[in-house]
Structure 1
Amino acid sequence: MQHTHRANRLSNNQSLAWKGGMDRGIRKVFYNTNGAKDLLSVKPIEKVNLEDDSMRKVLLSALQECHCCPRCQLRFQNIRCQAAYFSPKQENIKEENKGAGLKPNEKENAVADQAKCQTKDLPRLFLLYLRESKGLKLEKFDVVDVKDVFKWVCGPMMSSELKVPFRLKSPFELHMTFHNAGTESEVFDLLSGTSPRKKKRRFFKPKPTKAAPPTKQQVIGQLKEKSSEELKALFSFPPSSPASYSICKMEGLHEPIFIAGRYNKYSRSLSQTPWILEGTRMTTSSVQELICEPMMDFIRATGYNFVASGREDVDVKTLGKGRPFAAEMSCPHKTTVTTEDMRILQNTINNQTTNIAVRDLQIVTREETSKLKEGEQEKTKDYTALVWVAKEVTPEMLETFDKIENLTLQQKTPIRVLHRRPLATREKIVHSLSTTPVDDHHFKLHLCTQAGTYIKEFVHGDFGRTEPNVSTILGTEADILVLDVEAVNLDWPKPSMEKRLKIYQKCVRTVIVSGQRNIFAGYINEFSGLGKWANHPCLNSIHLMTLLKAVYCVGF
């Protein structure tokens, strides 16, 4: 069973810090899970009053009987003085000495030799032991978190070795994995008779895969389900200390860098992500690979994750200003990225292929990437579809679409995606429709729809699984030949400052030369952020140039 702890060091200003925490796992002493039914149902005997020296002595005696290390003895006494954990001495913690009478949060240097103790958080078996054998009750907040103790002790030690200041937060991580040989049999005993939940597949039987090692969630889940009597039967009671030390593997990592932008897709044979069917690659490349692999080389990252605001089919182009996306670069070795670097990277991606293009590349925070999924149901998308109909196209037929607004669709999961999407009926809205005639049996259909609407199925009906559809509206057979995404109406990410300045310049010069108010309004629609100037009294005068120069520091 492996356990993980992360420590951080800021590489730019040479500072050291810790981040994250140790994953909960199994040792000879098991941990409380904040919701075990058997613990909640036990009637409290007597809550431990850490201000009472007699109760503290009973608690300390029980800790020492279970061979808890000196630092864990301090933890269970709720000693929150960082200096107390640096190099403890056992004699200062014995119940007959003053260490036993330490008050919580007291700044005394009570310390001891570190023993072979792997106690973490609230040991569940030890909690039961206190209740049943000592008549005491402890709450989670009565115990100092082992993660805090780990930071207090190891942080200054590594700070001294690396000759850098200690910081609590930093983008550089020390990834520490702890392995203890004695835990493997314990985990096996705990998980015996259980099997991980398998995802149900609809049409085919999944291939057998190699069993993965148990996860933290599986272990905690079993701890919640096991009763106190079952745990006591599986493990020693009172709990004993491990027979061996843990082995620690340390790896230096930098926190990921997030690059956002928008992409256009100009190919009708390119998938958004790698398309592999039964081990066979269906397309030579993908949008994800064409964008992220040059990024990974440029940032010198070890891996990447790609996420976009929706996805298009292989045979669909994405035009206009493109589709917003974000790429997470894992463990980057190039950590200082400038605006000029983003411009170079953007040109590198755009020059390597004609199948895609990217724009507005910029560094964003992890929190900003959440905006890609926010408002998923509220955002809209614009499409253009080339439609074939069996009947001859007439002006009266096309006028039917001009009268439709906010058309509500009932769409069952399309047949073509049933292998990867659950069967459901979804309500979607087509906000507006317009047409452009092409010939006797073809016309272009322009749509603005709610995100997540299946456009192809709206045209041909998908054997009646989408109602209403173009076929039922026109009363004739219809099919879709070509589909393009014209716009993804999500204002993210913001245009770069360089692009903003160019728009300001173009806007001001055009207004000054022409004096036309409506031209300025057009630029407001092109770039959000100038809306507050739409009704400014100086809009048609030369003073607008001075006004924008003062507010946005635009140089002409």
Structure 2
Amino acid sequence: MESILKSTLKCHIFKNFFDNFSCVRCIFRALKINQYEVYQNKQQFQELLENVSKKLEIQSLSTHYNHDWIIRTGGNNHYCRICMGILQNIDHQENVDKIAAQIKEQDFEYQSFKFFIKVPLCTQIRLANFLYHTEDLFEKQSLQFPAEEQEEFAKQILQWRENYIDIKTVYKWILPDLLSEKLGVPATSSVDCPFVVNFQIRADDDDRLQFSYFSDHLSQLNKQYEEKKKKKLKGNFDEEIILPRVEPTALNLERISALPRSQFFKVIRNGQLPDPVTSPAQIDVSLSHASIYIMGNYCKYSRYMSQTPWFIDGVKLYDTSIQEEIANDILPNFKCDDYKFSTGGREDIDVRMLGNGRPFVIEIQNPRRVHSVSDEDLKNYEAHLNNVKTECKVNSLKFTDVKCFEVLKQSEQEKIKSYACVVQTKDPITQEQIDKLNNMNEIELKQKTPIRVLHRRTQMIRTKYIHKLKAYLLSERHFVLYVLSSAGTYIKEFVHGDLERTTPNVGSILGTEADIFQLDVIQLYPKLCEESLKDFDETCKVPSQIVEWQ
């Protein structure tokens, strides 16, 4: 702040910017003034403007106090030619009240908030042109300044180009405290804060206008990329690479904004001031809350209910699904925008999921109700769902975090699973054949990707293990088979062989064609151990309680 008043050079830079309709905050940004108090609507700021105006004899500075210290009031449409009005009324009471009202209207629950701000590309280009214009102006008038000032300018102009303070930083210095007072909760910069106030500042027409500076640069970058790719693929370099015209799409504007400032300024070399701003940039405010996660287990008792909604050619095949039954009961309590349902593996539509159930996670996206839903409420939701649903039940509902997906992945890839199925054979079978199955342990399977899932799974051979079998005759051509297997084993294919794509299989072991009549998932175990083996043996003692058979 002191340097502005003591340096003749900086005073004239200030005057050049101001006389060409740059707001004072943008001048401070260009001069790297990083004391955030200076940008705020405080006495320190007022004193600074008064001192600068006296030193430079800028009479119009005093008119700022009639309305807002940053806005010129000498006429209409006097918007800053750099920030396009973004910083001019940022702390105006009417503006703050409007934003606070928008936040309150959306009825989110939050204990703190943080900012995310996106500014239009054109504001960066406009500031760059102002800096170049100032540099050119100084070179023309350099003899008016002492030698030491000329030397100072030469050193600092390059630093200003790359180290100016961006609009987003100034926004965060000014607005959060004002909104915090209105909303009654603190503002924070913590990455862990789940509630975000998003400011999307748009000047679409000006973005497209200013894009012309970079179209050739982006075309060159695209051409270099294609040549590199062609070289890597050993393409024919005799053919000329013809690329489509570069358009000012959102993606290309993002690419320009992401350029390092040194590269950004190399592309722009225009000493002309940007056009006056006739309409200010538009500010869209949106709110977002980080997802919350609920984990639990589901049991499925129907052979006519899919895990997720099932559509073919846009037609829904079944009225409901496990996902819909659970989500429709829980989600209204959170007033969310959307959700995702994930599970640790899946069972076929005609397979029941018994025991403690299969783990699942509901990711609740952009919830408005967070703090008012407690662990006790989850227990109540669980009890209600289990009271009204017959085809599915849930247990162990709890709040969790994003690490829950590791648990699901582990369940799908590592857990040991027990199954019960009814097998039907082409030829009559004997107790001797059943005993043969019962005496087999740790069978190594080679399973090619089943024909029924080839359309969505990679064709490969997977090695799986059948750790234990237990069979009971039901009739001369039917028997109950209990299977304890490694995760990811295709049990149906283990029974019928899938045209010998799974070997060995029950059919090949018994010496007759075998097919599966019905299948249940009985239990999921964390690992193969004495406890899981004992539980499997206990389950096998009561086949009539597990398998529906008449």
Class of the TM-score when normalised by the shorter of the 2 chains:
0.5 to 0.7
Cross-structure match for 2:413:
377
Give me the whole-angstrom Cα distance separating, in 2, the residues matched to 1:247 and 1:422.
Answer: 48
Cross-structure match for 1:154:
175
Give me the whole-angstrom Cα distance separating, in 2, the residues matched to 1:157 and 1:478.
Answer: 74
Cross-structure match for 1:407:
444
Cross-structure match for 1:179:
202
- 1:102-154 deviations in whole A, cap 9, x for unaligned? xxxxxxxxx977944286799699999999x9999889996767655433222
1:383 Cα deviation from its structure 2 partner: 2.0
Cross-structure match for 2:106:
none
3-state DSSP class of the match of 2:347? Answer: coil
Cross-structure match for 1:263:
298
1:456 Cα deviation from its structure 2 partner: 2.0
- Rg larger for: 2
Please say if residues 172 and 252 of structure 1, whose CA atoms lie closer than 8 Å, have aligned partners that are also in contact.
Answer: yes
- 1:395-440 deviations in whole A, cap 9, x for unaligned? 345524643315142322x332333x14321424224130212322
Cross-structure match for 1:335:
371
Please say if residues 431 and 449 of structure 1, whose CA atoms lie closer than 8 Å, have aligned partners that are also in contact.
Answer: yes
Give TM-score scaled by structure 2 length.
0.58
Q: Does the C-alpha gap of structure 1 residues 274 and 483 become closer, same or farther in structure 2, counting only changes over 3 Å?
A: same
Question: Which AA in structure 1 matches 2:37?
Answer: A
Give me the whole-angstrom Cα distance separating, in 1, the residues matched to 2:264 and 2:28.
Answer: 30
1:253 Cα deviation from its structure 2 partner: 4.6
Question: Which AA in structure 2 matches 1:316?
Answer: V
Please say if residues 120 and 207 of structure 2, whose CA atoms lie closer than 8 Å, have aligned partners that are also in contact.
Answer: no
1:369 Cα deviation from its structure 2 partner: 4.5
- 1:504-527 deviations in whole A, cap 9, x for unaligned? xxxxxxxxxxxxxxxxx989x99x
**Where does structure 1 lack aligned partners over 5 or more consecutive residues?**
1-52, 98-110, 195-212, 492-520, 527-556
3-state DSSP class of the match of 1:182? Answer: helix
Q: Does the C-alpha gap of structure 1 residues 366 and 235 become closer, same or farther in structure 2, counting only changes over 3 Å?
A: farther
Cross-structure match for 1:446:
482
Matched, 1:247 2:306: no
1:353-364 map, 5 Å: 353-364=389-400
Q: Does the C-alpha gap of structure 1 residues 240 and 127 become closer, same or farther in structure 2, counting only changes over 3 Å?
A: closer
Please say if residues 68 and 241 of structure 1, whose CA atoms lie closer than 8 Å, have aligned partners that are also in contact.
Answer: no
Q: Which moved more, 1:387-396 or 1:286-295?
A: 387-396
1:241-320 map, 5 Å: 243=277, 244-320=279-355
3-state DSSP class of the match of 2:177? Answer: helix
3-state DSSP class of the match of 1:314? Answer: coil
Question: Which AA in structure 2 matches 1:276?
Answer: F
3-state DSSP class of the match of 2:414? Answer: coil
Please say if residues 130 and 274 of structure 2, whose CA atoms lie closer than 8 Å, have aligned partners that are also in contact.
Answer: no
Give me the whole-angstrom Cα distance separating, in 1, the residues matched to 2:487 and 2:180.
Answer: 51
Question: Which AA in structure 1 matches 2:173?
Answer: W
- 1:42-83 deviations in whole A, cap 9, x for unaligned? xxxxxxxxxxx99x98xx89x969998765666677665443
Matched, 1:352 2:404: no
Cross-structure match for 1:83:
37
Please say if residues 298 and 359 of structure 2, whose CA atoms lie closer than 8 Å, have aligned partners that are also in contact.
Answer: yes
Q: Does the C-alpha gap of structure 1 residues 249 and 488 become closer, same or farther in structure 2, counting only changes over 3 Å?
A: farther
1:220 Cα deviation from its structure 2 partner: 4.5
1:177-256 map, 5 Å: 177-182=200-205, 185=208, 220=254, 243=277, 244-256=279-291
Give me the whole-angstrom Cα distance separating, in 2, the residues matched to 1:240 and 1:426.
Answer: 65
- 1:235-284 deviations in whole A, cap 9, x for unaligned? 98989589553322324454433222111000111111111111211000
Cross-structure match for 1:433:
468
Give me the whole-angstrom Cα distance separating, in 2, the residues matched to 1:488 and 1:469.
Answer: 22
Q: Does the C-alpha gap of structure 1 residues 453 and 177 become closer, same or farther in structure 2, counting only changes over 3 Å?
A: farther
Question: Which AA in structure 1 matches 2:203?
Answer: N
Q: Does the C-alpha gap of structure 1 residues 317 and 174 become closer, same or farther in structure 2, counting only changes over 3 Å?
A: same
Give me the whole-angstrom Cα distance separating, in 2, the residues matched to 1:426 and 1:125.
Answer: 60
1:378 Cα deviation from its structure 2 partner: 2.5
Q: Does the C-alpha gap of structure 1 residues 250 and 242 become closer, same or farther in structure 2, counting only changes over 3 Å?
A: farther
Please say if residues 198 and 287 of structure 2, whose CA atoms lie closer than 8 Å, have aligned partners that are also in contact.
Answer: yes
Give TM-score scaled by structure 1 length.
0.58
1:173 Cα deviation from its structure 2 partner: 3.5
Q: Does the C-alpha gap of structure 1 residues 229 and 83 become closer, same or farther in structure 2, counting only changes over 3 Å?
A: closer
Please say if residues 128 and 265 of structure 2, whose CA atoms lie closer than 8 Å, have aligned partners that are also in contact.
Answer: no
Cross-structure match for 1:457:
493
Give me the whole-angstrom Cα distance separating, in 2, the residues matched to 1:386 and 1:473.
Answer: 16
Give me the whole-angstrom Cα distance separating, in 2, the residues matched to 1:78 and 1:180.
Answer: 25
1:156 Cα deviation from its structure 2 partner: 0.8
Q: Does the C-alpha gap of structure 1 residues 295 and 77 become closer, same or farther in structure 2, counting only changes over 3 Å?
A: farther
Give me the whole-angstrom Cα distance separating, in 2, the residues matched to 1:139 and 1:378.
Answer: 57
Task: Say which structure is richer in helix.
Answer: 2
Question: Which AA in structure 2 matches 1:466?
Answer: T
Q: Does the C-alpha gap of structure 1 residues 68 and 463 become closer, same or farther in structure 2, counting only changes over 3 Å?
A: farther
Cross-structure match for 1:553:
none
Give me the whole-angstrom Cα distance separating, in 1, the residues matched to 2:265 and 2:353.
Answer: 58
Q: Does the C-alpha gap of structure 1 residues 446 and 239 become closer, same or farther in structure 2, counting only changes over 3 Å?
A: farther
**Where does structure 2 lack aligned partners over 5 or more consecutive residues?**
1-5, 56-68, 72-78, 87-118, 137-153, 223-246, 536-550
Question: Which AA in structure 2 matches 1:479?
Answer: D
Give me the whole-angstrom Cα distance separating, in 1, the residues matched to 2:271 and 2:452.
Answer: 57
Give me the whole-angstrom Cα distance separating, in 1, the residues matched to 2:501 and 2:23.
Answer: 66
How many percent identity over aligned positions?
30
Please say if residues 336 and 368 of structure 2, whose CA atoms lie closer than 8 Å, have aligned partners that are also in contact.
Answer: yes
Q: Does the C-alpha gap of structure 1 residues 161 and 223 become closer, same or farther in structure 2, counting only changes over 3 Å?
A: closer
Give me the whole-angstrom Cα distance separating, in 2, the residues matched to 1:241 and 1:164.
Answer: 41
Please say if residues 291 and 367 of structure 2, whose CA atoms lie closer than 8 Å, have aligned partners that are also in contact.
Answer: yes
1:361 Cα deviation from its structure 2 partner: 1.3
